[in-house]
Structure 1
Amino acid sequence: MPKPRFRVLIPGSVSGPAEAAETAAPTVEDRGDGAAPHWTADAGHRPSARRVAELVARGHTVLVRCTRPDGQAPRTDLPPAPPGIAGAVPVPAAEEVALATVYAWAGARVFVTDHPDRVRRALDMVASVRGERPPAAVRRGLA
């Protein structure tokens, strides 16, 4: 099985306009350190899954920005995690992980996020579910 080709980047490591995917694949800075390649189509900040799927269908490697656009405040209308739940994920992190999984399922391969470790784990899970990589651990239940 081929290794999935997801790239997880942090904000500030990618340059280029978010609107450039409208017509042709824009250039995104290729820093030589795992940054997005120059042939990546930038779908912008939190695009619709349909838009991502359309860009993938055109043959582009799609970059999505799961972070909030500059100047946009995080949501405050969501309730906090219930007290006493071990491993509760902060709402901004959970929001970006959920977006990344939907975009990965739609075909995006490059992600910009403030929570790279959590997003990487979610992308590994998506790749396992899609059959693009074997699961990290296989357990059989004997009842």
Structure 2
Amino acid sequence: MELRLGTRVVFPGVFTVMTEGLVEGADIAEVAADPEVVRAVRAAPRAPVVAVAPASEEQAAACVRAGAGLLIGDAFAGVAAATGAALLCSAPERAAGVRPDGVLVRAADPYEAERLAGAGWAVVVDAAEPAVASVFAWTGARVFRTADPDATRQVLDMVASIIGIRPPAVSRRGLA
């Protein structure tokens, strides 16, 4: 199923990189849950989807009005459902009322990621190391939270080529 994050549509088979703060190369930037910060990030050229982890429903609604496309936390399912924002939650049942193409579920291990992805959910993982990202990508995760978007993107492109989602960047044959 496609994933809708704010004005962006992420199609199946496309990997998405999420970072803390505004980092070049990130598709999603988690920023402070402050409407002014959200507006400033949205005003940046080639602005990523803005994600926030608010402290209250009122703060969540204010951030969505300012342009946040992703709310982080089970407690904000009601706000996400009412505003149309996407929700990153701990389990699919925590997203009651949220549109299915706006639900991201956090997975803690590859087995959980494979189970959730197999059920059709967009899976988010914390991928501190590129090697970890490759294992999760292989099991079906779609969103990778990392501090190193360039290295993570490189390994995700490699995995996509191996599993046949995209062509290899360079194709060489071993000729003697």
TM-score class normalised by the smaller sequence: 0.5 to 0.7
Q: Distance in 2 between matches of 1:39 and 1:23?
A: 7
Aligned counterparts of 1:65 and 1:124: Cα–Cα separation in 2: 17
Instruction: Trace 1:1-143 onto structure 2 (pairs within 5 A).
Output: 4-12=13-21, 13=30, 14=51, 15=53, 16-17=72-73, 20-24=89-93, 26=95, 38-43=102-107, 47-67=108-128, 96-143=129-176
Provide, for residues 1-39 of structure 1, a one-character-per-residue CA deviation record: whole Å limited to 9, x for no partner: x98410011025133138933342649xxxxxxxxx732
Alpha-carbon distance between aligned partners in 1 of 2:119 and 2:111, rounded to the nearest angstrom? 13
RMSD: 2.6
When residues 52 and 132 of structure 1 are mapped into structure 2, their CA distance, relative to the original with a 3 A threshold, is same
SS in 2 for 1:64: strand
Structure with the higher fraction of residues in strand conformation = 2
Give the total of aligned pairs.
102
- Tell me, yes or no, if the aligned pair for 1:53 and 1:107 is still in contact at 8 Å: yes
**Which is richer in helix?**
2
Q: 1:54 offset after TM fit, Å?
A: 1.0
Q: Which has the higher contact order (CA 8 A, sep 6+)?
A: 1
Q: Is the 8 A contact 1:26 1:41 kept in 2?
A: no
Contact 1:3–1:133 (Cα < 8 Å) also in 2: no
* Residues 37-66 of structure 1: per-residue CA shift (max 9 Å, x gap): 7321122xxx11101111112110111122
**So what's the TM-score if we normalise by structure 2?**
0.51
**SS of residue paired to 2:133:** helix
Task: Kindly report structure 1 stretches of 4+ aligned residues shifted beyond 3 Å.
Answer: none
CA-CA distance at 1:106 after TM superposition: 0.4
Specify every segment of 5 or more residues in structure 1 that has no aligned partner in the other structure, as ranges: 28-36, 68-95
Q: Give the aligned residue type for 2:93.
A: A
CA contact (8 A) 2:15 2:142 kept: yes
